[in-house]
Amino acid sequence: MSMFFLAFVISLLVAISFASPVGRKTSVCPWNGVSTVQNFTLLAVVKDYPNIQKSLVLGSHDSSTPGCVTWLEARESVDSINAKFFTLVNGGITAYAPDGSLIGVSLPVPNMNGKLSFLYPKSGENASPAEVYCELFNTSPHGVPFPYALAVNDGDSDHFSLCKSNSAEASVVLYNIVKASAADIRSKWGTCADVYIHVLPIVQ
Ligand SMILES: *[C@@H]1O[C@H](CO)[C@@H](O)[C@H](O)[C@H]1NC(C)=O
């Protein structure tokens, strides 16, 4: 085997191992996106009725103890807000309570019918957020009311839904509801509305 061929094979293997890191999916931000945003809140805006807008928070329900998973949902569907301020660093979201304490780090989002979940780390636990998000900016020359959109899994901002659970009083965000299982989703989640999720930066 020639040295050149060997070098080629080795560089190919290196490229492949970088392309698919095991157990870790990293979002690729498109050209009109950034992967770091200091401090922001999140707002869901219904695509068909843009005057319907819901603040998104991490709620309590039963998941307010360390080690539990919580998820992004409409402010009105939770008894008490656990977190409503977020930071995005290298594509990973961390959620903070109003008092500044860390409440959740982003978990990977399944490519179909996935909730936007967060882990409430136990103290001392490694709390690296899954780096799957980015913020896209709208490039319309006419301007838009909300220029920054949240995107997940390789820059997709177009497939979020806010779905109201039939069993619990919760409206949670789901990513990429697929048509094949729309009936399942509806029986479990009741009504869903397609939404954009907007990033509202906090200017201090
Ligand atoms: C984000 O902004 C809010 C509102 O001004 C503030 O209370 C909070 O401490 C800020 N959080 C971070 C992480 O800077």
The pLDDT > 90 percentage for the chain reads 47
Note the pLDDT tens digit of each residue in 9-39: 444 444 444 443 333 445 579 999 999 999 9
Per-residue pLDDT of 47-94, as tens digits, reads 999 999 999 998 765 556 777 888 899 988 777 777 999 999 999 999
Q: How far is CA 58 from CA 4, 15, 175, in A?
A: 54, 38, 16
Protein residue with its CA nearest to atom 14 in ligand 1 = 39
Specify the pLDDT at position 188: 64
pLDDT of residue 184: 65
CB-ligand 1 contact for 87 (6 Å cutoff): yes
Evaluate whether 204 touches 39 at the Cβ level (below 8 Å): yes
- Say what the pTM is: 0.82
pLDDT of 191? 80
The ligand 1 atom at the shortest distance from the C-alpha of residue 85 is 1
Ligand 1 binding pocket mutation candidate from 57, 86, 96 (most atoms within 8 A of CB) = 96
Tell me the chain's radius of gyration from C-alpha atoms.
Answer: 19
The rounded Å distance from CA 155 to ligand 1 centre is 26
| 3-class DSSP assignment, residue 103 | strand
Which residue's alpha carbon is nearest to atom 7 within ligand 1? 98
Q: 85 CB less than 6 Å from ligand 1?
A: yes
User: What would the pLDDT profile of 151-161 be if each residue is shown by its tens digit?
Assistant: 999 899 999 99
The per-residue DSSP string of 45-72 comes to: EESS-TT-EEEEEEE-TT--STT-EEEE
pLDDT tens digits, one per residue of 98-142: 888 898 999 999 998 888 999 988 877 778 999 999 999 998 888
pLDDT digits (tens, 9 = 90+) for 159-190: 999 988 766 667 889 999 876 566 666 666 66
Q: Three-class SS string for the chain?
A: CCHHHHHHHHHHHHHHHHHCCCCCCCCCCCCCEECCEEEEEEEEEECCCCCCEEEEEEECCCCCCCCCEEEEEEHHHCCCEEECEEEEECCEEEEECCCCCEEEEECCCCCCCEECEEECCCCCCCCCCCECEEEEECCCCCCCCCCEEEEECCCECCCEEEEECCCCCCEEEEECCCHHHHHHHHHHHCCEEEEEEEEEECCC
**pLDDT given for residue 203 in this prediction:** 87
Decide whether any atom of ligand 1 lies within 6 Å of the 97 Cβ.
no
Among residues 197, 151, 204, 153, the alpha carbon closest in space to that of 38 is found at 204
Ligand 1 centroid to residue 190 C-alpha, Å: 34
Ligand 1 pocket member 41 (CB < 6 A): no
How far apart are the CA of 183 and the centre of ligand 1, in A? 40
Q: Contact at 8 Å (CB) between 88 and 33?
A: no
